[in-house]
Amino acid sequence: MKDKRLLFAFPHPDDESFGPGGTIAKYAREGADVHYVCATRGEVGTVDPEMLKPYEHLPADQRLGALRGQELRNAADILGLTGLHYLGYRDSGMPGTEPNRDPRAFINADPDRVTGQLVKIFRSVQPQVVVTFDPFGGYGHPDHIFIHQRATEAFHAAGDPARYPEAGAPYQPQKLYWAVFPKSLIKFFVLLLRVTRRDATKFGRNGDIDLKEIAAHDYPSTTHVNIRPYYAIKQEASSCHTSQLSGGPARFGKIQKWFMMTEHFRLVEPNAGGQRLNERDLFQGVTG
Ligand SMILES: [Zn+2]
């Protein structure tokens, strides 16, 4: 076990690379143990049927998950992840869609059971720092919101010997962060869409992303990680998630690229007063 240990808890293969991929690559290369807890295999979504050909021996509803699991395996190797831990649920899809009702969907899981699974992993890999989504899940995906709730609960339960005694010896992580992004950029983008007469409430590949709603959930960051030296690694890891990239890897202009050289986090534990901080390192103040 390394001296520095960091754990990210998100629900889908790609959340790790498209989100804080640069931060994962940075700490892995600086010699920390970096773990990824992924609640599902991202079984919901449209994909080019050609890509599922190698998985035709599997039942139809497992093929996309198998493909995305392989994509995550490849991304994990590039990022330098120490451990990849699946919770074993199914992608719940966007609100109001049919996969929401699947009893295997992550959002239909027993909350205490999910918390117990997380507590067991926290106690086993002993991360000083835990990162999950904000209470709106970045853009409102029900799985993102659910992992936020469960990881928050597990953060507090892991150090309590009275809770989940069967999940191993108590271990209390020191810091809890939300992965966030500056909403000022989104607000600017909403304005830009309005000028070009496009609907900011029905954005994205499937028209299911409401940029106005996203901009309204503003969680200011406390911690800014410079990922410039790791940006190429993040791009390489992101490009492993081929099934989720329409028309090849995204290309960014110079200004966008400049914004992407920093990844943003909000410290919530310990930060009772919601103080404005200006951290540059997720391990700042971590002891032992
Ligand atoms: Zn996701």
Summarised one tens digit per residue, pLDDT across range 70-120 is 999 999 999 999 999 999 999 999 889 999 999 999 999 999 999 999 999
Task: State the pLDDT confidence band at 256, using cuts at 50, 70 and 90.
Answer: confident
Task: Identify whether 279 is part of a domain.
Answer: no
The rounded Å distance from CA 203 to ligand 1 centre is: 16
The rounded Å distance from CA 61 to ligand 1 centre is: 19
The rounded Å distance from CA 287 to ligand 1 centre is: 31
The rounded Å distance from CA 169 to ligand 1 centre is: 31
Question: What is the chain's mean pLDDT, rounded?
Answer: 93
Q: What is the pTM of this model?
A: 0.93
Q: Same domain, yes or no, for 198 and 90?
A: no
Q: Is the confidence at residue 19, as pLDDT, over 80?
A: yes
The rounded Å distance from CA 18 to ligand 1 centre is: 9
Q: How far is CA 210 from CA 94, 146, 200, 206, 262, in A?
A: 12, 19, 6, 11, 24
Q: Same domain, yes or no, for 54 and 156?
A: yes
Task: State the pLDDT confidence band at 250, using cuts at 50, 70 and 90.
Answer: low
Task: State the pLDDT confidence band at 262, using cuts at 50, 70 and 90.
Answer: very high
Task: Identify whether 282 is part of a domain.
Answer: no
The rounded Å distance from CA 272 to ligand 1 centre is: 28
**What's the total number of domains in the chain?**
2
Q: Is the confidence at residue 158, as pLDDT, over 80?
A: yes
Q: Same domain, yes or no, for 18 and 151?
A: yes
Q: Same domain, yes or no, for 174 and 234?
A: yes
Task: State the pLDDT confidence band at 28, using cuts at 50, 70 and 90.
Answer: very high
- CA dist 261 and 59 (Å) reads 41
The rounded Å distance from CA 139 to ligand 1 centre is: 9
The rounded Å distance from CA 123 to ligand 1 centre is: 25
Q: How far is CA 148 from CA 39, 108, 137, 261, in A?
A: 11, 15, 7, 25
User: Which positions ≥6 away from 6 have C-beta within 8 Å?
Assistant: 24, 27, 32, 33, 34, 35, 127, 128, 129, 130, 131, 282, 283
Q: Is the confidence at residue 247, as pLDDT, over 60?
A: no
Task: Identify whether 284 is part of a domain.
Answer: no
Task: Identify whether 248 is part of a domain.
Answer: yes
Q: Same domain, yes or no, for 129 and 200?
A: no
Q: Same domain, yes or no, for 190 and 50?
A: no
Looking at the chain, the whole-number percentage of residues with pLDDT higher than 90 is 75
Phi-psi region of 247 (alpha: psi -120 to 50; beta: other; left: phi over 0): left
CATH of the domain at 44: 3.40.50.10320
Task: Identify whether 283 is part of a domain.
Answer: no
Q: Same domain, yes or no, for 238 and 263?
A: yes
The rounded Å distance from CA 15 to ligand 1 centre is: 5
pLDDT given for residue 248 in this prediction: 53
Q: Same domain, yes or no, for 97 and 213?
A: no
The rounded Å distance from CA 158 to ligand 1 centre is: 24
- pLDDT tens-digit series, residues 36-64: 999 999 999 778 899 999 999 999 999 99
The rounded Å distance from CA 162 to ligand 1 centre is: 32
pLDDT given for residue 97 in this prediction: 92
Task: Identify whether 287 is part of a domain.
Answer: no
Q: How far is CA 280 from CA 9, 109, 231, 285, in A?
A: 21, 36, 16, 11
Task: State the pLDDT confidence band at 249, using cuts at 50, 70 and 90.
Answer: low
Query: Exposed/middle/buried for 235, CB within 10 Å: 0-12, 13-18, 19+?
Result: middle
The rounded Å distance from CA 71 to ligand 1 centre is: 14
The rounded Å distance from CA 202 to ligand 1 centre is: 18
Q: Is the confidence at residue 219, as pLDDT, over 80?
A: yes
User: Which positions ≥6 away from 60 have C-beta within 8 Å?
Assistant: none
Q: Same domain, yes or no, for 230 and 201?
A: no
The rounded Å distance from CA 278 to ligand 1 centre is: 27
Q: Same domain, yes or no, for 177 and 112?
A: yes
Task: Identify whether 202 is part of a domain.
Answer: yes
The rounded Å distance from CA 145 to ligand 1 centre is: 10
Task: Identify whether 278 is part of a domain.
Answer: no
Q: Is the confidence at residue 145, as pLDDT, over 90?
A: yes
The rounded Å distance from CA 248 to ligand 1 centre is: 19
Q: Is the confidence at residue 221, as pLDDT, over 70?
A: yes
pLDDT given for residue 234 in this prediction: 97
The rounded Å distance from CA 161 to ligand 1 centre is: 32
The rounded Å distance from CA 14 to ligand 1 centre is: 7
Q: Same domain, yes or no, for 120 and 258?
A: yes
Q: Same domain, yes or no, for 206 and 133?
A: no
The rounded Å distance from CA 12 to ligand 1 centre is: 5
pLDDT given for residue 258 in this prediction: 78
The rounded Å distance from CA 266 to ligand 1 centre is: 18
**By residue range, what is the domain housing residue 260?**
5-181+221-269
